Structure 1
């Protein structure tokens, strides 16, 4: 645990400022960044183990009395034991010990020159406060980024789910359309595009419609046969059943006498239909039941 710091003075240029290091960090140049460095003096006992210019183990404590050689040896031994425990026994071969402020200052100057990356370390209160602010900002940005990524993943998941639902619905519609068209398709007909093929069938049926009587045309024709001058003809039969097909119309009705049936046949027998009288039967209790067919006239 660091309990003391070493102030590294600036170069004296305008705008230069001092940097406060943990004291063990200033000892890196004393062993060229490889080995054990121990300093005892100025009321402080500090030690550090370096490898590749990186501090692996640091100790720093206040000393009530000037540290003795035994104290420095003990610190050096602790660092060597740590090196051995971590598989870096070779670092124990280089051990530096210093007691004077001049030695500490020279080591600090050498560290600034040899390891300029250490200048990013500053335990000055204002520097620590700025570092804490940067850390807090970075943490907020990280949390925001994580939330944005999570939201994006949820959105992508929803899009994938909706896309799969749409694809499934389209596949179901395509399958159902093939089934429906298969009910009206000709035997052996290959179904590739049910919608286009159904449109073709409708167009084909529409083309045949000019040769077959339309239901609206039949109703208009019968209305004209049953009325005269907008008034219902007197004595005409009563229509009971009308059967419409592509070939024509079959009528069944009842009349009081044969004259009314003949008058209906004559009124219905005009362009574009030909009327033919079918069976005529006597109804028990009086009256006649008849059948009448309408067929389109063939030119």
Structure 2
């Protein structure tokens, strides 16, 4: 908390003995402690936004401090949001010159300690609402709090630091903002031990302050998390958009298939009524049509069996034999369910053709196959007999 470095706030020691009797300024130990910096450029700016997204809060603060950010000197804006349930985002933004932010490497990693502006430790001295001023040697700080939110922060290291001037400035700030109640009883803290006690009580009573860390590694880590969150948000948005488009396509396809099925059912019913007539209730046109065809076909004893084939064959042969000589001789018949194949001999081609014509009747179709000359005279033929339509 000195102009040239840090000192341990827990035991108050500023130097320690090194081998050889050399005295050096004691470096800050890396054991999860709190570091209070008297930043000369830090300032607190309260805000209240109707949204809770940290991305939106950062964008709103960037617009608010655009004139400040466009200057020659780089300025860091560190937002802090007080946990208030599901209401609006209430908190404060700490503005500080980039050159004054500690690097943190020589004092441990960001997980080892929290770097606070010195005025923040005074919150417990006024129970989170009021004016608090600190002075110890050349180090001074002042702050105005309201319900745990810092409204004004001032600190620095100067021999000209005057407690009365700081109290008057803080009161003028409260009166200008119509917050007279905060200026009623200013609290003045002097000495390191009293500041140490106030800092410990502030950590205990306002644990949400531990989210504030004005060190370079902590700010870089916060920016990395924000970039990762934005990338994940973009990926999630793209995935959600793709999913919505895919669902819309699937729903459209489902409607088209359903419409096609309804059209098929209606057209099938119309065709059934047109061909079959009647006033029966149509549930499954295809099954009902099959039933009607089966009823029209009968019991199947219409010549499609072996008996029907033999009867037709005998009728054709006996009709061909009347008044004629040289009737073809049947030598072989191979029967299957769909028809029969005949093989035989005949003295002439005219006899074969007459047999074919006689068989090609009565619902049967006769097809002449291979014809060969046999030794000693005569012809060998093959003939296929089928029911028409099979």
Q: Partners in 2 of 1:269 and 1:63 — Cα distance?
A: 125
- Counterpart of 2:170 (choices 55, 75, 80) is 75
CA shift digits 1:4-52 (9 cap, x unpaired) = xx9884699x96233311223211101111233344664554323230x
Q: Displacement, 1:182?
A: 1.7
- Cα distance change, pair 47–115 in 1 and its aligned pair in 2 (3 A): same
- Cα distance change, pair 191–99 in 1 and its aligned pair in 2 (3 A): same
- Cα distance change, pair 117–271 in 1 and its aligned pair in 2 (3 A): closer
Does the alignment pair 1:50 with 2:154?
Answer: no
- Cα distance change, pair 115–209 in 1 and its aligned pair in 2 (3 A): same
For the residue of structure 1 that corresponds to 2:298, the secondary structure is: helix
Does the alignment pair 1:131 with 2:222?
Answer: yes
Residue correspondence of structure 1 range 114-129 to structure 2 within 5 A: 114-129=205-220
- Cα distance change, pair 64–15 in 1 and its aligned pair in 2 (3 A): closer
CA shift digits 1:132-152 (9 cap, x unpaired) = 333333333333333332222
- Counterpart of 1:233 (choices 347, 350, 358) is 350
Q: Which position in structure 1 is the counterpart of 2:277?
A: 186
Q: 179-188 or 54-63: which moved more? A: 54-63
Q: Which position in structure 1 is the counterpart of 2:197?
A: 106
CA shift digits 1:213-248 (9 cap, x unpaired) = 9xxx9xx98x988996676538x9xxxxxxxxxxxx
Q: Which position in structure 2 is the counterpart of 1:177?
A: 268
Q: Partners in 2 of 1:64 and 1:122 — Cα distance?
A: 24
Does the alignment pair 1:66 with 2:81?
Answer: no
Q: Partners in 1 of 2:358 and 2:229 — Cα distance?
A: 98
Q: Which position in structure 1 is the counterpart of 2:289?
A: 198
Verify the 8 A CA contact 2:132 2:186 in the aligned structure 1: yes
Verify the 8 A CA contact 1:7 1:18 in the aligned structure 2: no
Q: Which protein is bigger by CA-based radius of gyration?
A: 1
Does the alignment pair 1:27 with 2:118?
Answer: no
Q: Which position in structure 2 is the counterpart of 1:292?
A: none
Verify the 8 A CA contact 1:36 1:80 in the aligned structure 2: no
Q: Which position in structure 2 is the counterpart of 1:17?
A: 32
Verify the 8 A CA contact 1:38 1:76 in the aligned structure 2: no
Does the alignment pair 1:146 with 2:146?
Answer: no
Q: Displacement, 1:195?
A: 2.2
Verify the 8 A CA contact 1:39 1:98 in the aligned structure 2: yes
For the residue of structure 2 that corresponds to 1:33, the secondary structure is: coil
TM-score, L = length of structure 2: 0.47
For the residue of structure 2 that corresponds to 1:67, the secondary structure is: coil
Q: Partners in 2 of 1:8 and 1:75 — Cα distance?
A: 29
RMSD, aligned α-carbons: 4.4
- Cα distance change, pair 269–27 in 1 and its aligned pair in 2 (3 A): closer
Verify the 8 A CA contact 1:37 1:76 in the aligned structure 2: no
Q: Displacement, 1:197?
A: 0.9
For the residue of structure 1 that corresponds to 2:221, the secondary structure is: helix
Stretches of structure 2 lacking an aligned partner (at least 5 in a row):
1-5, 13-28, 35-114, 321-326, 329-344, 365-390
Verify the 8 A CA contact 2:128 2:146 in the aligned structure 1: yes
TM-score, L = length of structure 1: 0.59
